[in-house]
Structure 1
Amino acid sequence: MTLLSVNVNKIAVLRNSRGGLEPSVVRAATACLDAGAHGITVHPRPDARHIRSDDIIALGEMTRARGVEFNLEGNPFAPPRGGYPGFIELCRRVRPAQATLVPDSDGQITSDHGFDFRRDGESLRPLIAELKSLGCRVSLFADAESDSFDIAAAVGADRVEFYTGPYAEAYGGNTQGEATSRYADAARRASAAGLGINAGHDLSQENLGTFLREVPSVLEVSIGHALIVEALYEGLDATVKHYLRILSASS
């Protein structure tokens, strides 16, 4: 069955909007795991507008104690600054089970594209090697249109995470079939290159089942925004369990 990693960035956004300690990122993540989620994801950014370095340390300790996956996402090329020691340094401190490298800029509201492996591959190679020396599985954020999954594998990546924003945008419209076919083809090509498949961005209860039925070999989905929005109405426990039922039905 495809595994569910819950991204708790939005919990930190809500906390930071008011200051103080509530809602607690660790408590929310614990509730998701208690409901059956398989892991926790966070994507810190250098401006600390949501997840902060202290959150990462606390979540790393909690997930390690629970024996579940901690997936740390971020841009490994963003330089350190006050309050943000850099992505690689954060990985050194917490040794996440999975490090997902994402080419987002400081000003982006959210990630919106994958790496150009032909351009970025050699720059990524030593970073991937260092992360793997820390015991991290390494996943690279990727577009379905990429024609160079073989390069991602050659520079040491274990997996790619498909940026699924275009699929979510096409869902329910005239181009849905074309979009799912594009991701299915990408999954087959990435698998042929020896890469595992993750997926994330704008996946929801509405569109997840179709994606998993049509796109082969998806090992893990990372879901944050939609899950937290849905949980405002249904609660975290119920919402996580809804997703688990979708994953089970799609396996």
Structure 2
Amino acid sequence: MRITGDGIWGPPRDHDEAIRVLRRAVELGVTFIDTADSYGPEVSEDLIREALYDGRGYGDVVIATKGGFTRSGPNQWAAVGRPEYLRQCIRMSLRRLGVERIDLWQLHRIDPRTPRADQFGVLREFLDEGLAAQVGLSEVTVEDVKEAQAAGVPVASVQNRYNLGDRRAEELLDYCTDQGIAFIPWAPVDAGVLARPGGPLDAVSRAHPGATTGQLALAWLLRRSPVMVPIPGTSSVAHLEENWAAGRVELTDDEYEALTKAA
């Protein structure tokens, strides 16, 4: 999302750095990259192909994308869930990414103006037709996921805003953990007031010299559930490497509990 222009609109200010970010991520060992046709729009998918496509695909890297949001300008988003539009979304993503099947295609938002059965039905069709290997949902509730499952959709992933300071999706995360559904938190580093000087993250950081509060927030997420797949966005190699290093930070039981209670 962050390798596009301001407002998630247009090309990045530094095209070459965006390409370096993508390639460095794979060099570090990243095997999951999340994007959407609305990022740019189209810009993010185009950059991913330019940076990582090897002529046949993306090797061991899973490229997940999303559809169902239209864009009319910077920071402007409108959900459209009509089956014919969602079908256009996935076919255009296939073309831009240069693949015959999307590894993970996610409904970016459930459109309240379109029958939900129609939206869930087309997800099932994408699987049956081989357009997507797996499908997921974004910004949903437990009831939404259950409804999709009841409609015959094997929900592989859920993508909701969730971080140490914003725990509104707690019930959903617990359901995903029980069901073995990947939980992909967006804005995973945004810990808000908990990251301020003198706050809980700052206090824990004293026992981890060199670790940033952002790294500690990611470390907490990674410990929170085995189905957790954080997607911290960035537009710089330096920030990417900082985020990646969070995987080496290990919280003690007391630190983990203190941060959990603080939120």
Which TM-score bucket, shorter chain as reference? 0.5 to 0.7
What's the counterpart of residue 31 of structure 2?
38
Q: Which ranges in structure 1 are unaligned for 5 or more consecutive residues?
A: 1-8, 80-84, 104-113
How large is the RMSD of aligned CA atoms in angstroms? 3.8
Instruction: Provide the C-alpha distance between the structure 2 equivalents of 1:90 and 1:96, rounded to a whole number of angstroms.
Output: 11
1:59-138 correspondence to structure 2 within 5 Å: 61-62=53-54, 64-75=57-68, 77=80, 86-93=88-95, 94=99, 95-103=101-109, 120-131=116-127, 133-138=130-135
- The answer for the alignment partner of 2:217 in structure 1 is 207
% of aligned pairs identical? 14
TM-score by length of 1: 0.63
Where do 1:128-207 residues align within 5 Å? 128-131=124-127, 133-143=130-140, 145-155=141-151, 156-164=153-161, 167-168=162-163, 171=165, 179=167, 183=170, 185-192=171-178, 194=179, 196-204=181-189, 205=214, 206-207=216-217
**Aligned residue pair count:** 203
Normalised to the residue count of structure 2, the TM-score between the two structures is 0.60
CA deviations 1:32-77 (Å, max 9, x no partner) are: 110121222222218x457256435436724924321111122174
Check conservation: 2:184, 2:229, Cα contact below 8 A.
yes
What residue identity is the alignment partner of 1:67? D
**Quick one: structure 1 residues 13 and 130, their matched pair in 2 at CA, closer, same or farther if it must change by over 3 Å?**
same
Q: CA separation in 2, counterparts of 1:140 and 1:202? A: 16
> SS in structure 2 opposite 1:221?
coil
In structure 2, list runs of 5 or more residues that go unmatched. 70-79, 190-213, 254-263
Determine the C-alpha separation between the residues in 2 that align with 1:249 and 1:86.
48
Change (3 A) 1:55 1:131: farther
More strand by share: 1
Identify the residue that residue 227 of structure 2 maps to in structure 1: 218
**1:31 Cα deviation after fit:** 0.9
Match of 1:16 in 2: 11
SS, match of residue 11 in structure 2 = helix
Amino acid at match of 2:187: D
Runs of 4+ in 1 over 4 A off after TM superposition: 246-250
The Cα of 1:140 is off from its aligned counterpart by 0.7
State the alpha-carbon separation in 1 of the partners of residues 51 and 105 from structure 2: 14
Shift of 1:78: 6.3
The structure, 1 or 2, with the larger RCO (C-alpha pairs under 8 Å, 6+ apart) is 1
